[in-house]
A and B are shown apart, each in its own frame.
Chain A
Amino acid sequence: MEFVLSLLVLAAAVAVIAAPLRRGRAPDPAPDAEIAALEAPKEAKYREIRDAELDFRTDKLSGADYRALDRALRAEAIELLRQLDAAREAATKEGSCA
């Protein structure tokens, strides 16, 4: 009984681990690394814009300071979006060349 159970466990483990190898080389649907690396700062920038707004609404920033900060943050976000667009364009070109 224990022997059979042990064999079953072994077979199940091998089946789980070896499945990707049996399928062979799978197409990699991974997003381009550069795009992925820009997504996190973009989301962080959105959060920062929202936090600045909350800081303003909870009286931690004066109107003038908030407007200046918000402008700066949005400029940084736009720069990130530009970089993202460029990275996406490059990835598309690379894909069509391949």
Chain B
Amino acid sequence: MLNLGRVCLSLALLIALYGIAASLYGASSGKRQWVDSGRRAVYALAGVLTLAFVVLEAAFLRSDFSFELVGSHSSTTTPTFYKATAMWSSQEGSLLLWVWLLALWSSLVLFATRRRLREIAPYATAVLLGFAAFFVALVVFLASPFELADPRPAEGVGLQPLLRHPSMMVHPPMLYSGYTLFAVPFAFAIGALITRRLSPDWIAATRRFALAAWFFLGLGVLLGARWSWSELGWGGYWAWDPVENASLMPWLTGTAFLHSAMIQEKRGMLKVWNVSLVLATGVLAVLGTFLVRSGILESIHAFGASTLGKPFLGFIAVLVAGCVVLVLTRLGDLRPQGRFESLLSRESIFLLNNLVLVGLCFVIFWGTFFPLISEAVTGQRASVGPPWFDRYTVPLAIALVLLSGVGPVIAWRRATLRNARRNFRLPAAATAAAALALMRVPGVWRQPLALLMFCAAAFVLAVVVQEVWRGMRARRVMSGESAPVALASLLRRNRHRYGGYVVHIGVAVLFVGVAASSTFQHVRDIRLSPGQTVSVGGYEVHYLRATSKLSPEKVTLGALLELRRDGRRVATLAPSRGYYPSRDPSLGPTGRYFDGEATSEVGLRAGLRRDVWTAVEPDVGAMRRMIDGIDRRFPLAAGDSATVMLGAIGDRYEVRPPPASFRLIVSPLVGWIWLGGMIVAAGGLIALWPAPSAARRRTSAAYRARLGRELSRA
């Protein structure tokens, strides 16, 4: 099936190139049949890429090692779930996933707009196919997933140990869905600029895609953080790693766009800003893929590094130059139709929120690329660490949460001070009460930034509760519905508004988790022998005994820890470290396990109040004499005899374990980060869910009738 896969990819490249040419010719000549043919090229592209994807997926599931990629990223002992998802652990497979998702979303949007945006759509088609052509060219010429393994290996290498985590396997499709969905508004913005059709209809047509991109990218970022917390043995969920940052940047500018697009739709303002935001988001999405695929910056995602940097850089340069030229030459068409009527209006708050979001993005961009900037300027590569990022992002994050509470209580166009005062009274009182309560918690008042974040979050929560209550009350007065029915009607009829409010609550909860866990966590690094006990963050951790386990893929050495609080046992934790064999043939049959890759399995007691996180680093060095001795005596041992010897090493570790190094962390409210993320996702789903067309028609008809009456009187 290798050849079928290759044919599909080559055909995909031809289809993409044809589609670009047909769409542009159709648009410039006015011949609709060529435009339609170009649009259908996108459908065909989705079809052939789906087939290529299925061929590769089937090869992974069947452990067909005639595919070089399968042999180097999977094995017969890899669990089926990981076999199914191992494709995107590879460079080649993840590029195929990227372009496949792009083709699917492009087909969906072009089908949805096939009778609308007649002038813009052909250019958007050409742009989407341009993206596809670039990525397909990469998998055809530079990173083909359909290379023949010669000779065919009897067994595969297996999946990269660090990636053996369920959320890590869902994380790339989420991120890539976000990146590729952001290509949709990007492409339509380019089409609108080229044709100078800059009314907000392209925003309305692609809003749901922008929202879906934001939703998937956000989920992807959160899953990555979850993986970092529970799989990487360093004890954190966010390291300001370049690849993490790369996924956050388009999410921030995308969030800004979702807010400011409303101003353009309602008031015809901020056109240059909006188009710049959406173009920047599209470029940042490609930049995110570039960072993980190029290896240009040091990252925990170094497994994704490759030599694709130059083509990516060229592509990004073309995108940036094209966008800048287009915006500059269309400035005359991007003149605003309205103006800000008052500083105290929702538009002004949205603009402030946009500035904060873009400010955050700029800080992260600067910090991420600082190593390259410093190297270009001074010749020496210097990098900035988490304290640098925290210095700038923490105040901006507090401002962001605060603004997400202020926005909902300020009216569009012009609010009056009197109304604002009335609307702020209850939330302000609730915030003051929360602040007083928090001051009674020991240590909180000594951390003003954390206290500010908690207060800002309390303010957001109070504002949203007030808003929902008032909306429900108004609905009950108008329709006489019961409270639950009124609430459901309110949500159903104003999905964007109330979905957005739910998102605001989620963001506030998430940031409370971040502030609490990063400010008030207790960390202890210590060496312990079985029987010893140590205190951390109000807990006693007692090292019960050492453990070992042998599986076909790895040797696991670990520890059994008893967790006590106030003398009472609360949990037993079992952190461990898995040792995967090196492929280096010069290493001995047992030593190759301890000289290969190793990953931590965290012992975690998670809860809404706090997480107790433990990781162990067994002292393999102390057992080196035994390991080397076995390898010297039985250098050719393999199969069952090697298993017996590894078992002996494990038994020895259990009986006479050397002291092991432990990292013990008690971190409050980490669970709020995941809870907040789930609330954000729920809010996103509410906003994404399509309004029933009947209801929409009813509303439009009602306003049309009302305006019709006015028109006849005028």
**8 A Cβ contacts from B536-594 to A:** none
The segment out of B114-122, B151-159, B661-669 that lies at the interface is B114-122
**8 A Cβ contacts from B85-106 to A:** none
Q: Is the CB of B411 within 8 A of A61?
A: yes
Please, how many angstroms separate the alpha-carbon atoms of A69 and B1 in the complex?
Answer: 66
Please, how many angstroms separate the alpha-carbon atoms of A66 and B142 in the complex?
Answer: 62
Q: Is the CB of A25 within 8 A of B37?
A: no
Question: Which of B1, B22, B423 contacts A2, CB < 8 Å?
Answer: B1
Question: Which of A3, A21, A51 contacts B33, CB < 8 Å?
Answer: A21
Q: Is B604 an interface residue (CB 8 A)?
A: no
Q: Is the CB of B32 within 8 A of A78?
A: no
0/1 interface trace, chain A 25-61, chain B, CB 8 Å (1 if under):
1101110010011111101101111111011011111
Please, how many angstroms separate the alpha-carbon atoms of A62 and B204 in the complex?
Answer: 30
Given A24-B33, A74-B707: A17 and B15 interface contact (C-beta under 8 Å): yes
Q: In chain A, what residue has the closest Cβ to B26?
A: A20
Question: Which of B11, B474, B477, B706 contacts A13, CB < 8 Å?
Answer: B11
Please, how many angstroms separate the alpha-carbon atoms of A97 and B414 in the complex?
Answer: 47
Question: Which of A19, A52, A54, A65 contacts B40, CB < 8 Å?
Answer: A19
Q: Is the CB of B44 within 8 A of A2?
A: no
Question: Which of A2, A37, A48, A60 contacts B3, CB < 8 Å?
Answer: A2
A21 contacts which chain B residues (CB < 8 A)? 33-34, 37
Q: Is B8 an interface residue (CB 8 A)?
A: yes
**8 A Cβ contacts from B660-701 to A:** 699-700
Please, how many angstroms separate the alpha-carbon atoms of A74 and B47 in the complex?
Answer: 47
Please, how many angstroms separate the alpha-carbon atoms of A50 and B710 in the complex?
Answer: 16
Please, how many angstroms separate the alpha-carbon atoms of A82 and B40 in the complex?
Answer: 37
Tell me the minimal C-beta distance from A22 to chain B in angstroms: 9
0/1 interface trace, chain A 61-85, chain B, CB 8 Å (1 if under):
1100100010000100110011000
Q: Is the CB of A36 within 8 A of B201?
A: yes
Q: Is B526 an interface residue (CB 8 A)?
A: no
Q: Is B441 an interface residue (CB 8 A)?
A: no
0/1 interface trace, chain B 404-421, chain A, CB 8 Å (1 if under):
000001111111101100
Tell me the minimal C-beta distance from B594 to chain A in angstroms: 44
Q: Is the CB of B710 within 8 A of A74?
A: yes
B706 contacts which chain A residues (CB < 8 A)? 74
What total of chain B residues lie within 8 Å of the partner, measured CB to CB?
67
Please, how many angstroms separate the alpha-carbon atoms of A8 and B480 in the complex?
Answer: 62
B48 contacts which chain A residues (CB < 8 A)? 9, 13
Please, how many angstroms separate the alpha-carbon atoms of A69 and B43 in the complex?
Answer: 46
Q: Is the CB of B201 within 8 A of A39?
A: yes
Given A9-B7, A52-B412: A17 and B37 interface contact (C-beta under 8 Å): yes
Q: Is the CB of A17 within 8 A of B204?
A: no
Q: Is the CB of A5 within 8 A of B32?
A: no
Q: Is the CB of A20 within 8 A of B40?
A: yes
Q: Is A96 an interface residue (CB 8 A)?
A: no
Given A9-B8, A74-B710: A40 and B199 interface contact (C-beta under 8 Å): yes
Given A20-B36, A25-B31: A77 and B703 interface contact (C-beta under 8 Å): yes
Please, how many angstroms separate the alpha-carbon atoms of A30 and B710 in the complex?
Answer: 30
Question: Which of B268, B423, B478, B703 contacts A60, CB < 8 Å?
Answer: B423
Q: Is the CB of A41 within 8 A of B419?
A: no
Interface residue SS majority, chain A: helix
Q: Is the CB of B707 within 8 A of A25?
A: no
Number of A-B contacts (CB under 8 A): 157
Q: Is A98 an interface residue (CB 8 A)?
A: no
B19 contacts which chain A residues (CB < 8 A)? 17
Please, how many angstroms separate the alpha-carbon atoms of A16 and B19 in the complex?
Answer: 12
Q: Is the CB of B416 within 8 A of A59?
A: no
Q: In chain B, what residue has the closest Cβ to A5?
A: B4
Q: Is B659 an interface residue (CB 8 A)?
A: no
Q: Is the CB of B15 within 8 A of A26?
A: no
Q: Is A12 an interface residue (CB 8 A)?
A: yes
Please, how many angstroms separate the alpha-carbon atoms of A89 and B666 in the complex?
Answer: 72
A36 contacts which chain B residues (CB < 8 A)? 116-118, 201
Interface-central residue, A19, A28, A48, A51, by most chain B CB under 10 Å: A51
Tell me the minimal C-beta distance from A21 to chain B in angstroms: 5
What total of chain A residues lie within 8 Å of the partner, measured CB to CB?
52
Q: Is A23 an interface residue (CB 8 A)?
A: yes
Q: Is B164 an interface residue (CB 8 A)?
A: no
Q: Is the CB of A30 within 8 A of B115?
A: yes
Please, how many angstroms separate the alpha-carbon atoms of A48 and B1 in the complex?
Answer: 56
Given A46-B700, A74-B707, A81-B711: A59 and B200 interface contact (C-beta under 8 Å): no
Q: Is the CB of B412 within 8 A of A55?
A: yes
Given A20-B40, A40-B201, A60-B410: A28 and B703 interface contact (C-beta under 8 Å): no
Q: Is the CB of A44 within 8 A of B200?
A: yes
Please, how many angstroms separate the alpha-carbon atoms of A48 and B412 in the complex?
Answer: 9
Q: Is the CB of A6 within 8 A of B413?
A: no
Q: Is the CB of A58 within 8 A of B18?
A: no
Please, how many angstroms separate the alpha-carbon atoms of A81 and B409 in the complex?
Answer: 31
Tell me the minimal C-beta distance from B393 to chain A in angstroms: 31
Q: Is the CB of B714 within 8 A of A78?
A: yes
A82 contacts which chain B residues (CB < 8 A)? 711
**8 A Cβ contacts from B9-57 to A:** 11, 15, 18-19, 22, 31-34, 36-37, 40-41, 43-44, 47-48, 51
Q: Is the CB of A37 within 8 A of B197?
A: yes
Q: Is the CB of A16 within 8 A of B32?
A: no
Please, how many angstroms separate the alpha-carbon atoms of A6 and B197 in the complex?
Answer: 41
Given A13-B15, A41-B268, A54-B494: A25 and B199 interface contact (C-beta under 8 Å): no
Q: In chain B, what residue has the closest Cβ to A33?
A: B119
0/1 interface trace, chain B 437-479, chain A, CB 8 Å (1 if under):
0000000000000000000000000000001001100100110
Q: Is B651 an interface residue (CB 8 A)?
A: no
Interface-central residue, A23, A60, A61, A65, by most chain B CB under 10 Å: A60
Q: In chain A, what residue has the closest Cβ to B496?
A: A47
Please, how many angstroms separate the alpha-carbon atoms of A46 and B199 in the complex?
Answer: 16
Q: Is the CB of A43 within 8 A of B419?
A: no
Given A17-B18, A29-B115, A48-B266: A54 and B200 interface contact (C-beta under 8 Å): no
Q: Is B610 an interface residue (CB 8 A)?
A: no
Given A44-B265, A59-B423, A65-B416: A10 and B11 interface contact (C-beta under 8 Å): yes
Please, how many angstroms separate the alpha-carbon atoms of A5 and B11 in the complex?
Answer: 13
Tell me the minimal C-beta distance from A71 to chain B in angstroms: 10
Tell me the minimal C-beta distance from A79 to chain B in angstroms: 10
Tell me the minimal C-beta distance from A75 to chain B in angstroms: 8
Given A2-B4, A62-B418, A65-B416: A78 and B118 interface contact (C-beta under 8 Å): no
B609 contacts which chain A residues (CB < 8 A)? none
A61 contacts which chain B residues (CB < 8 A)? 411, 415, 419
Contact sample, A vs B, 7 pairs, CB 8 Å cutoff: A2-B4, A13-B15, A21-B34, A41-B200, A51-B412, A55-B411, A78-B714
Closest 3 CB pairs of A and B: A40-B201, A57-B474, A20-B36
17 A-B pairs besides A51-B497, A81-B708 with CB distance below 8 A are: A9-B8, A9-B11, A13-B47, A16-B44, A21-B33, A36-B116, A37-B199, A40-B199, A41-B200, A47-B265, A48-B412, A57-B474, A57-B478, A58-B470, A61-B419, A78-B714, A82-B711
